[in-house]
Amino acid sequence: MKTSHIATAAACAACARAQELPMVNSEDLQALINLDELVSGSQQLQDFAYAYPERNRVFGGQGHNDTVNFLAEVLEQTGYYDVTIQPFVELYSGGSSSLSINGQAYNNSLLTYTPDGSANASIVAVNNLGCEAADFPPEVADSIALISRGDCTFAVKSTNAAAAGALGAIIYNNVEGELAGTLGGLGDYVASVGTDLATGEALLAALQNGTELIGELEVDSVLENRTTYNVIAETKGGDHNNVLALGAHTDSVEAGPGINDDGSGTIGILNVAIGLTNFTVTNAVRFCFWSAEEFGLLGSTYYVSQLNETAEELAKVRAYLNFDMIASPNYAYLIYDGDGSAFNLTGPSGSAEIEALFEDYYTSVGKTYNATAFDGRSDYGPFLDVGIASGGIFTGAEVPKTEEGQDIWGGLEDLAYDENYHAVGDNIFNLALDAFWLNTKLIAHGVATYAQSFDSLPQPTSMTKRSAHLAKVKRQAYNGAHGSHGHHHCNSKDEDKTR
């Protein structure tokens, strides 16, 4: 009894203090966003990655677990938030591979979900694109199959190679650049690696000249269930039946520390959360730090599935804002196309108003913006699927900037918005600090606006299951026509990871 008495007294002291705080407003919350804090927060995340040999923050790894604990501790210490660490379990795929041919080492990377394998055998070229069993000549048995990318998924090619008795498969790109892909899940595959177009063409030419190629292929695949964690921090104050949710993902890919993708969104929303503790709010604000986005939006999908178990919990979330990559080095100011005016993928009711809020913000600070497809390829996807008004911004990934883009935002034409996207160079030295600072102030503006009032959003209508389903089908059709399969993130992803 005594402890509960003390707890009650402490809670009331917090209440009294909250009542003395001023109501949040955009200008004052923005004024608390400090560039030094954004940089030191990013440095902290990078230090977590570089403290371990993997030098990344892949979900379930040590660099990622340190990130999760850091966020939970910082938010808990404010005393302003109820912090929940939400565990869930997902299949992790990683590991390493090596390939040498006639004693010479070749560039390669394992395909996600490949099995282990070890082969020291002849390399045999497959006919056509390896999409049919008949494409595999009998000599493929007990050999390493050499297959071009194209037409069908990597999974189909690897399955056909396994069925033909191959010991391994080398799939080479059909366009310039590395081939980094996924088999899309577990299956009856052979040990499979990807390599670049030049390597594939050189090997094919050697075979056609009658040169015998002996390959040594080693694939050390790690396939394991890993427990990982979302961090959810909700203001103690405010109306918990009318909640603004916002989120960023805390995990990186294997290749690097993930400081723009999505350390920038993580540290951006964290700093807004810290600034918000100086104010009181009308509506509760829920800061969501998602895990395992890079393996297919797994953390946000799990969270929404849990929320979706009771209709009341879902109805409490009035809007969701997503921030995935807000400081790309060769940036653009892109807003999710919630009204469907640019990409014809309209979000749930309220999404158009959120897009307009961010448009007005950029206009007010003299910046030009453009739209980016509202295709559900980051953590807002699961929120779209259940009909929650959503929005967000994005500064661009691997797509090259156009001449028009250079005219608008400066930077370099023909260079990717983020040339370090999903690569080792996605580190603190490659952040655009001006975009980082401005976009974090934009987040503060969004939080202040909706923490005060949802009056600018339409009244929530319970989106019918059918209309949510139809919108999802339309997004899937769009994604099918524009590469990638919903899995593997990042809004303007042109490259398809499964084929």
Residue 61 or 215: the one with the smaller Cβ distance to Zn ion is: 61
90, 218, 234, 293: which one is catalytic?
A: 293
Stretch that binds Zn ion, among 36-44, 167-175, 259-267, 465-473 (CB under 5 A): 259-267
Check binding of 379 to Zn ion (CB under 5 A).
no
Residue 234 or 261: the one with the smaller Cβ distance to Zn ion is: 261
Q: Cβ of residue 262: shortest distance to Zn ion, in angstroms?
A: 4
Residue 234 or 262: the one with the smaller Cβ distance to Zn ion is: 262
- CA atoms of 444 and 435, how far apart (whole Å): 14
φ, ψ of residue 337 in degrees (nearest 5): -80, 70
Q: Cβ of residue 258: shortest distance to Zn ion, in angstroms?
A: 8
Residue 249 or 318: the one with the smaller Cβ distance to Zn ion is: 249
Stretch that binds Zn ion, among 160-168, 253-261, 296-304, 475-483 (CB under 5 A): 253-261
- For residue 391, the cross-strand partners are 321
- Clarify whether 293 is annotated catalytic: yes
Those residues whose C-beta lies under 8 Å from the C-beta of residue 297, and which sit 6 or more positions away, are 290, 377, 378, 379, 381, 382, 486, 487, 489
Those residues whose C-beta lies under 8 Å from the C-beta of residue 336, and which sit 6 or more positions away, are 322, 347, 351, 355, 371, 372, 373, 374, 380, 390, 391, 392, 393, 394, 491
> What CA dihedral angle connects 109, 430, 411 and 324, to 10 degrees?
80
Report helix angle 433-452 to 35-50, nearest 10.
Answer: 110
Within residues 278-297, the interface with Zn ion by CB under 5 A covers: none
- CA atoms of 474 and 61, how far apart (whole Å): 35
Q: Cβ of residue 329: shortest distance to Zn ion, in angstroms?
A: 15
Q: Cβ of residue 407: shortest distance to Zn ion, in angstroms?
A: 27
Interface with Zn ion (CB under 5 A), residue from 135, 196, 262, 337: 262
Other residues' Cβ atoms within 10 Å of the Cβ of residue 260: 34
Check binding of 261 to Zn ion (CB under 5 A).
yes
Within residues 408-467, the interface with Zn ion by CB under 5 A covers: none
> What CA dihedral angle connects 341, 345, 351 and 353, to 10 degrees?
10
Q: How many residues bind Zn ion (CB under 5 A)?
A: 3
Within residues 295-334, the interface with Zn ion by CB under 5 A covers: 324
Other residues' Cβ atoms within 10 Å of the Cβ of residue 421: 23
Residue 26 or 250: the one with the smaller Cβ distance to Zn ion is: 250
Q: Give catalytic residue positions.
A: 293
**Chain positions contacting Zn ion, by CB under 5 A:** 261-262, 324
